[in-house]
Amino acid sequence: MPVSLDNLLVVGISSRALFDLEAEETIFRTQGLDVYRQHQIENENEILKLGAGFALVRALLKLNVLVHNQRFVEVVIMSRNSSETSMRIFNSIKHYDLDITRAVLSGGAPLSPYLRAFNVSLFLSLHEDDVQAAINSGVASALLYQKPDNAFEELEQIRIAFDGDAVIFSDESERIFQTQGIEAFENHERENAMKPLPEGPFARLLKALSYIQNNFKSSDGRSAPIRTALVTARSSPAHERVIRTLRAWNVAIDETFFMGGVAKSDVLAAFKPHIFFDDQPGHCDRAAPLVQTGLVPVMRIS
C-alpha cells in the first residue's frame, strides 16, 4: 500500500528558506547555472547555515516524537535544484538531524504543480514567483523575510501568529475597507455579524493546527505544544464576526488581539511566534526585525 499524506500537516519548504543559500543565489544570478552547479558540487560536504524557515520546521518536526508511533507533520523539500546540485542540501539535513525524507527537485521548473501531489498544507519560500503561483493554486503560502537576530531562540511551544482578513479569512471585507473606507467596513461587519466570514488561504492550515492541538488538550489547557494568535487590525464592532466565525469553524485561537490600527510589532515581540503571517507589506516590514515574518500575497485569478 502506498504511503498517504492525507491526514498529516505537510509543510513544503524551499531549500533556500530552510538553509542560508544567499551567497549561492548570488552566484547563480550573476555567474550562471554552470558556475552555480560546480560550486555546489565542490562544496557539497560543507554544511549550510540555518535559513529563515529552519526554526519553524525544527519545532514542527518535534511533534512527531510526542506520541509513540504517530506522525503529525511531514516536511518536503521543494527546490528548483536538480539532483546533482542537491547533495549539499541533504548532507545539511542529516547534519542537523531533521526528519525530512521527501523532496521535489524540479531542475528549474515551477514547483506549484507538485504541491497538490504532496498534499502540501503550507508552502514557504524566498522566491516570489513560486509563492504567488502556490497561493493562486489555493495553497497557504508565504514569502519569507530574512530571519531576525533571535530567530533560533528555543521556545517551549510552537507559536504561530496570523493576521485575519486576507489570511485566515477571505479578503472580502478588506476590499470594502480599501475601497469604501472604515465606516462602510464597520457597517458591513455589523450587518453580517451572524454570517461566518469566508475562508482565506490560511484557514485550512489553522484548522489543521487546531486538530493537532486537540490531540494534546489537557484540563488546564496549558500543555498544548502549539499556541496560536490572531493579531488583527480589526476592533469593535468588527470583532463579533471574527469570534462567531471561529466558533462556527470549531477553532479556538489561544490569544487574540484586536489592534484597532495600533502597530502590531510590539504585541508580536511579546508573543514571540516562530512565524507571523500577514498580507500587508507595511505590517510585515515592521514585524520582520523582531519576529520571523511571512508575507501572504493576494491571490491572482488568471
Query: What would the grid cell of residue 135 be?
Result: 497561493
In one letter, which amino acid is 214? N
Residue partners of 68: CB distance under 8 A and separation at least 6 = none
Active-site annotation holds for 278 = no
Residue tagged active-site, from 130, 163, 171, 279: 163
Handedness of CA 218, 220, 222, 228 (dihedral sign): positive
Task: Estimate the crossing angle of helix 182-191 against helix 172-180, to 10 degrees.
Answer: 140
Residue partners of 14: CB distance under 8 A and separation at least 6 = 77, 78, 79, 80, 111, 124, 125, 126, 127, 130
Give the CA dihedral 230, 236, 237, 242, nearest 10 degrees.
10
Q: Give me the half-sphere count of Cα atoms (radius 13 Å) on the Cβ side of residue 158.
A: 20
Residue 143 CB-density burial (10 A; 0-12 exposed, 13-18 middle, 19+ buried): buried
Are 122 and 73 contacting, i.e. CB atoms less than 8 angstroms apart? Answer: no
Identify the CA nearest to 74 among candidates 27, 133, 120: 120
Identify the CA nearest to 203 among candidates 234, 228, 176, 240: 228
The residues that are catalytic are: 163
